[in-house]
Structures are given as C-alpha cells and as structure tokens.
Amino acid sequence: MKTFVEEFKDQAGRITRDLRHRGLIQTALRKYEVKRDEKKAAFQDWESARQTAAEIKWEAINKLDEHLEAFASKMEARGTKVHWASTGEQARDIIVKVVQEKKARSIIKSKAMTAEEIHLNDALEHAGFEVVESDLGEYIVQLRKEAPYHIVFPAMHLTRGEISELFTKELGSAPTDSPEELTMIARRALRHKYITADIGITGANFAIAETGMISITENEGNARLTAALPKTMITLVGIEKVLPRMEDLALFLPMLATAGAGQTITGYNTMYSGPRQPGESDGPEEYHVVLLDNRRTELLADPEQRDALHCIRCGACLNVCPIYRNVGGHTYGTTYSGPIGSVITPHLRGLQDWKHLSYASSLCGACTETCPVKINLHHHLLQNRRNSMQQEPNATEKLAFTAFGYVANSPFLWSLITKGARVLQKMHPLVKGGAMDPAKAWTQTRELPPVAKQSFKEFWKDRKP
C-alpha cells in the first residue's frame, strides 16, 4: 500500500499534466479573483477590517473556555442539548445514538466540513441510515462518491456536461447544458428527501458566545430547509468557530462572503438559538449541538501556531495558492486542502504522516497576504517543517546540510565546487534521465538551470575600473 506522501506525489504529477483540469480550475479561480476584488473595494478599508477580524478571533480563541461555557449555558437554557466531543469517534457515536433513539430512517444534511473531518456519513450509513447532502455541490460529489474538492466549492472541478451525465445516470434525467435546469433536476430529487427526513444535520459558520446562537451562512437556502423541516436538528460545530459577540457578525458575515465567494453578502444568513419555543410556528422539536474538539485543544496549546484556529474556512488561501491551482483539491487526500489544510492536517492527523504537505509550497506568501483573519500561513508551513525534523531528524539531510554549511563557509571550497559543477554540468547530457542522473527528480519534467559562467567574485575581480 502506498504511503500518504507517495499517493500525494503520484496524484500531483497526474493532475499537473492534465491541462484540461488545470484550465478548468484556473478559469474558475480567475473569475473568483475579479469578483472578490470588486467586493473588497466596497469595504472602506479592507486592511483595517482584516486587522479587526484578526483581533476578534484572537480574543475568541484566547478565552475559548469562557466563550464555550457561555455559549453552551445559553443554548441549554432554551432547551438545546449540548454535547462535548473530545474526538471524532465520540462525535460520531453521539450523533448515531441520537439518530437511533429517534428511530430515524432518513437524514438530510447541509454542508459541514466538520462532518467530512470525522467521516460522519460513513458512520451513519454503516449504522443503516440513508444520508442525503442538500447543498448542490455536496450532492453532486456525493452522487460521484467523492470527497469535496474545495472547502467552499465542492464540485468546482466538474463541467456542466459532466454533471448532466451524472444526473442522467443516477437520477434518470434528460441531458442538458443549462445550469438552471441542472439545479432544478437536483431540487426535484431533493424536495422529497426534505419532506421525508426525520433528522436534519448542519454545520455552523459561527457560534455566538454572548447570545448562545449558531450562525449559518449559505447561498441555496438548503441549510434552512434542513434545519426547519425535520423534527430533530443536529449541528456539528468545531470549538474554534466561536465569536464573542453578536455584533461581530456585522464584520464576519460580509468578510466571509467577500473572501470566500466574491459576494457582498451570502444569500441566506440564519441564526439558530434552540428548538421550537411555545408559540413559534416552525423549527425543530429537538435540537442537539455537538461541540467538536478532535485535537483542536492541542493546537490551542501551541502558542506558535494557535492562530490557525482563527480560520473561518473561507477558502481564500486555496484560491490564490499556486500549488492548489495546479495539483487540485483531491490530491491533498485530506478534508482541509490548500495552505490551511497543509498547516492544520499535521496537527489533526499526525505530523510525520502529513509533513509532506508543508513542503508542497513555494512559500510565496500569497495565502498569508489574502487570509481575511491574517493567519501567518506560510510561516506555519516552515514551522511544521522544522518541527518534523526536530521530532524525527533525517540523518541524510543533516549530513547534506552540514556539508553544505562547511563548503559555503569556505571561499576556497565554494569556488572549487562551483568550478567543478560547471565542468560536470557539461557532462550531464550523457546521464540525463538515467539511473546515474543525480538530478533525475528535477530533469524528469524540467531543464536543469545552467551554473553561471562566472561567479560574482570572479566578475568583481575581472571588472574594468
């Protein structure tokens, strides 16, 4: 069986050679960039908005224990059952138990990356329940038995033609190229599921400590139906989603919409504070909120990287990342892809198994520059690299860098080696691509850059006054 790093390399090589796929992603992301910049311009001062958002998230995470307790007690006061799950397994067990107690048969679910993180659908299906995704993109990837391709746009790797083919095969619809018709086909298929579902499961964009409310922001209205129609509602929320005050949403909702999808504000913004109260005409009879830790508190205990918990899952860092744009979302093999995925996956799933993601970066800093809550992403990638080496030093690399340090510190040796490299490079074509080629990993797909004909020292010596 292949290791995670081997899988990543194979997949990355395959996708980067697939020019059609790359073209599709890059066209979609260029359109996103244009819209995002338009909407950013609507902020009086985007940079100071970012600074304020970073400070609010700092406050939220720095006093996470207090905020979570306030959130839970307010929710419970209105009849919500709040569950604390330390691990993904615990969260799955809690949700499966609620579903079993309700003697449910079918479940409708809106988009929740936390559910992907703990493989909730698999657990529910294994326990004998039918789970249907209600977000259009999620529904499409569910029909394809795939993981979401992107945090915000789960089916962005597919063309209309591919979606039409899928619907024809799975839903028996007539082929069409019209996005409206494709949406209507999915809507018709889902409508029945909403009406018959016993349980609705949602994620959350924010959890408001001050008022004890869940905030969900979406474009299709599917999360509203998921929450409103079934008798029981379950929300799975990562503990880092806390915001201290209700008024913080005035900044975070437009900021998430702008950074995430180039929108002024998302289509539907809803707050949930508990089950249906006496005299209310809709809403679930029973409401469960599952607060998920799953190693987030370990990240919280790391003063250097704790700001990774500030993430609002807007996906903006994925959109600007030159690696993501070329290798695509599925290559990462993780729930969270792109720069934020490369930063947090080693914390969530083990540093040694996932350290390779921190090397899949040009360290250009585009992610850090775009992040609306100012997470220092590319520095965290460097810190992951350092931590992995400290945890499990690599003897060959250590020897190589010691030798490099020795040569680089000696002008005589440096000059000797660079002269030697010029001669050796002339002989390189004889071994290029073969087993004896020391630069094979590079020359398989690129030309070796020539060693400069003259070093700076030689140039300086030869220069005419």
Q: What whole-number distance in Å separates Cα of residue 405 and Cα of residue 159?
A: 51
Nearest residue (CB) to ligand SF4, 316 versus 357: 316
Which of helix, strand or coil describes residue 292? strand
* Residue 366 in the binding site for ligand SF4 (CB under 6 A): no
Residue in 222, 206, 327, 183 with CA at minimum distance from that of residue 271:
206
Radius of gyration of the chain (CA): 26
Binding positions for ligand SF4, 116-135, rule CB under 6 A = none
Contact in structure between 334 and 350 (CB atoms under 8 Å): no
Q: Taking a C-beta distance cutoff of 8 angstroms, is the pair 377, 317 a contact?
A: yes
Minimal distance in Å, beta carbon 39 to ligand SF4? 15
31/157 Cα distance (integer angstroms):
14
CB within 8 Å of 354: residues ≥ 6 apart: 4, 334, 345, 346
**Residue 326 contacts residue 360 (beta carbons within 8 Å):** no
CB closer to ligand SF4, 290 vs 311: 311
Question: Smallest distance from the beta carbon of 311 to ligand SF4, in angstroms?
Answer: 3
- Which is nearer to ligand SF4, 190 or 314 (by Cβ)? 314
Q: How far is the CB of 366 from ligand SF4 (least distance, A)?
A: 10
Q: Is 238 in the site for ligand SF4 (CB under 6 A)?
A: no
Within residues 376-435, the interface with ligand SF4 by CB under 6 A covers: 377
Minimum Å gap between C-beta 305 and ligand SF4 is 12
Of the candidate residues 309, 371, 384, 388, the single one contacting ligand SF4 (CB under 6 A) = 371
Answer yes or no whether residue 49 interacts with ligand SF4 by CB under 6 A.
no
Closer to ligand SF4 by CB, 73 or 264: give it. 264
Residue nearer to ligand SF4 on the CB measure, 50 or 157: 50
Interaction of residue 373 with ligand SF4, rule CB under 6 A: yes
In the structure encoding, which two tokens stand for residue 417, read together?
């080696």
Question: Under the criterion CB under 6 A, does residue 340 sit at the interface with ligand SF4?
Answer: yes
Instruction: Compute how many residues bind ligand SF4; rule: CB under 6 A.
Output: 14
Cβ count within 10 A of residue 95: 25
375 binds ligand SF4 (CB under 6 A): yes
Confirm or reject binding of residue 242 to ligand SF4 (CB under 6 A): no
Q: How far is the CB of 344 from ligand SF4 (least distance, A)?
A: 9
Rounded least distance, CB 318 to ligand SF4, Å = 7
Task: Tell the residue number behind the tokens 């995704």, with chain if given.
Answer: 133
Nearest approach in angstroms of CB 389 to ligand SF4 is 24
Alpha carbon distance 260, 111 (integer Å): 15
Q: For residues 122-154, b (16+ Cβ closer than 10 Å) or e, as one string?
A: ebbeeeebebbbbbbbbbbbbbeeebbbbbbbb
Q: Determine contact, residues 332/128, Cβ cutoff 8 Å.
A: no
Report how far residue 432's alpha carbon sits from residue 37's, in angstroms, rounded to the nearest whole number. 45
Q: Which stretch binds ligand SF4 (CB under 6 A): 133-141, 356-364, 369-377, 392-400?
A: 369-377
Distance of alpha carbon 62 from alpha carbon 47, whole angstroms: 22
**Interface characters, 299-338, with ligand SF4 (x: CB under 6 A):** ------------xxxxxxx---------------------
Query: Which residue in the set 39, 185, 372, 376 belongs to the binding site for ligand SF4 (CB under 6 A)?
Result: 372
Q: What CA–CA distance (Å, rounded) separates 217 from 266?
A: 6
- In the bound state with ligand SF4, the residue whose beta carbon lies nearer, of 226 and 376, is 376
**Cβ proximity to ligand SF4, 173 vs 305, nearer residue:** 305
Residues near ligand SF4 (CB under 6 A): 311-317, 340, 370-373, 375, 377
